[in-house]
Structure 1
Amino acid sequence: MIYLLLLVGGGLVAQASAACSRAMLEEATAAYVRAQAAGQPSLLPLAQTVTYLENDVSMDLAKGVLAQPVTIDFNRSLHDTTQCATFTELSAATNKHPYVIDTRLLFTDGKITAIESLVADAGDWVFNAANQLSWTKKEKWDVIPEGKRDSRAVIQAAGDAYLDSWTNGSVKVPYGTPCARLEGGSYTGDKSPSANTCKMPVFPGNFKIVKRRYVIDEEVGGLDIFNDFPFIDTTKPNGTSSMNFIRVEGGMIRYIHETTICATKNCGR
């Protein structure tokens, strides 16, 4: 297998094709979990020209974390039949080297054309794999009845409002009550329901969260946004690799998971 690693303007060359079946995407995420557990990328339906990014760095797929066997304690996925894309969050707290791995897969004609992973471990922003595993397992991301599902536009707008509010306090974010945020290993959902909140303070400075890449799954109200987060990493003021994994119920945000990769321990803070 030849892995062609090309980038255009910092984005992935490979793009998803037209709509595809949920069954195919579910089979692919199951295969991804098996492949990561075994450390065998060949278990995936890869296109010959698949591209691979790990923490926004292009590399040979055979040299990335996907080529390392990882003990997976828990996983949760989104399946986007409109974009023909998936998102999977893997919790690997009991692995010899603990990780939280967030991965987007893009497909064309049933083959994976692009893989993009955030691989968080010790030293990344408030990383604590054991806490992350404990809290994520307790959350309920059940399928939402068809008549109660939000549209793609509503789900994406909720996530965009959340990110926009970080530097603009006038942006109204549809936070639910309760709303729980899992940031690294830090959780806000351990209080009484009325006190649980995801509201963020307004960060200093005038910056925008850019390079937003979405995966949306209406069946579970799920949204994943890969992005570049300025401000947080003192050594990378223009932005560091970050991800927001959000569940929306009835137009309101119920859960948020955040992963932020740091160039220096705890992003220099």
Structure 2
Amino acid sequence: MTLPLLLAAVAFAASASSAPLATTCDRTTLLAAADAYISAQASGSLANLSTIFSPNFTYVENNSPSPINTSILTTPLKLDHRRTTADTTLCATFTELISATGPKPYVIGTQIRHSPSSSPQSITLIDSVVSTTGSWLFNATSTLLHAQAEDWSSPLPLAKQTSRAALQATADAYLDMWSSATASEAVAWGEPCARLEGGAYTGQGKSTDSCKAGIPSNHNQAPNTHRRYVIDEEAGSASVLCLWEHMMMAADSHEFRLEGGKLRFIHTMTVCPGKVCKL
């Protein structure tokens, strides 16, 4: 299968706007599988993780289908930060990993998808954006510093949780800003809000901090396509992996945190495979 067809298939399966699955997945099971993934990355061994792969398992790294036995997962990483969200509707998780103090720095965003019909719910897809030196605004030390200082406590109090539809609507509107002059009007902007873009941080510790800083003024750029979603209402999180067409067809991860229906944090990773990212 070609990359565009594969990404289209993955995006279709991952679409949070698709009809709900007949059987929702168990949060505990999803998080346990994510923990197995984290352990595999820390050890560089697939021995335990591979026992929960489905027969039709696929591995995708930076938007490219790849053999998992030569992937980043076979390189042990010193993990300085990890955080996982769970989507019980789409049977998926998103994990953010930061390795800033090992031999080579990495910041990784991984969506893991499960079969809702199997018992236990086996892994059908690991889909990772693996950023390192040369990726857009990459600085793992800065990323770690700011990520650790933010409060992503979960679950949010019910009064501060945002509906699944609203989480995706803001994520999509934000990603549409490069190709639509009116998209920003649909973003649930909030204050304070801080964006961690690679290692660059917009937050200044002020109550008036806004994620509007640096948004595109040119709305005639190529769109951000092949979007794959993991949405966790309890965490107020919408993770989107996509193809960042206007920046060298890059592999991209955007995660949005909403509190009380308003945008609070954005984390991004952008990788131009085999190249140094530049506009």
TM-score, normalised with respect to structure 1: 0.90
Match of 1:164 in 2: 176
Residue 240 of structure 2 is aligned to residue 225 of structure 1: yes
SS in 2 for 1:135: helix
* Residue of structure 1 aligned with 2:224, choices 209, 223, 235: 209
3-state secondary structure, aligned to 2:238 = strand
What pairs with 1:1-269 in structure 2 (closer than 5 Å)? 9-11=5-7, 18-44=23-49, 45-108=52-115, 109=118, 110-142=121-153, 143-171=155-183, 172=185, 173-199=187-213, 200-203=215-218, 205-233=220-248, 239-263=249-273, 265-269=275-279
Q: Are the structure 2 counterparts of residues 268 and 147 from structure 1 closer, same or farther at C-alpha, using a change threshold of 3 Å?
A: closer
Give the Cα–Cα distance (whole angstroms) in 1 for the partners of residues 60 and 109 of structure 2. 12
State how far apart, in whole Å, the 2-side matches of 1:127 and 1:32 are. Answer: 23
Say whether the 8 Å CA contact 1:127–1:184 is kept in structure 2.
yes
Q: Is the 8 A contact 1:12 1:51 kept in 2?
A: no
Q: Which one has more relative contact order, counting CA pairs under 8 Å at least 6 apart?
A: 2
How far has the Cα of 1:192 moved from its partner? 1.8
8 A contact 1:25–1:79 mirrored in 2 = yes
Alignment check: 8 A CA contact 1:72 1:92 kept: yes
Q: Deviations over 1:135-194 (max 9, x none)?
A: 001111112112432110011111111111233332212111011000000001124221
Distance in 1 between residues matched to 2:267 and 2:57, nearest whole Å: 27
Cα distance in structure 2, aligned partners of 1:11 and 1:230? 13
Q: CA deviation at 1:10?
A: 2.4
Name the TM-score, length of structure 2 as normaliser. 0.87
Query: How much has 1:28 moved relative to structure 2?
Result: 1.2
Quick one: distance in 1 between partners of 2:172 and 2:9? 24
Give yes or no for contact 1:80–1:217 (8 Å, CA) kept in 2: yes
What amino acid is the match of 1:180? A
Decide which moves more: 203-212 or 123-132: 203-212
Contact 2:237 2:256 in 1 (8 A): yes
Cα distance in 2 for partners of 1:6, 1:115 equals 17
How far does residue 204 in structure 1 lie from its aligned partner after superposition? 5.2
Runs of 5+ consecutive residues of structure 2 not aligned to the other structure: 15-20
User: Gaps (5+ residues) in structure 1?
Assistant: 234-238
| 2: CA distance, partners of 1:103 / 1:84 | 14
Structure 1, 217-226 or 157-166: larger mean CA deviation: 157-166
Q: For 1:115 and 1:6, locate their aligned partners in 2 and report how far apart those are by CA, in whole Å.
A: 17
Contact persistence 2:7–2:63 (CA under 8 A): no
User: Is the 2:87–2:231 Cα contact (8 Å) retained in structure 1?
Assistant: yes
Tell whether the 8 Å contact from 1:215 to 1:225 is kept in structure 2 after alignment: yes
- The 3-state SS of whatever aligns with 2:196 is strand
Aligned partners of 1:83 and 1:60: how far apart in 2? 24
Identity %: 38
Distance 1:13 1:267 in 2: 26
Contact 2:3-2:64 at 8 Å conserved across structures:
no
More strand by share: 1
Cα RMSD for the two superposed structures? 2.1
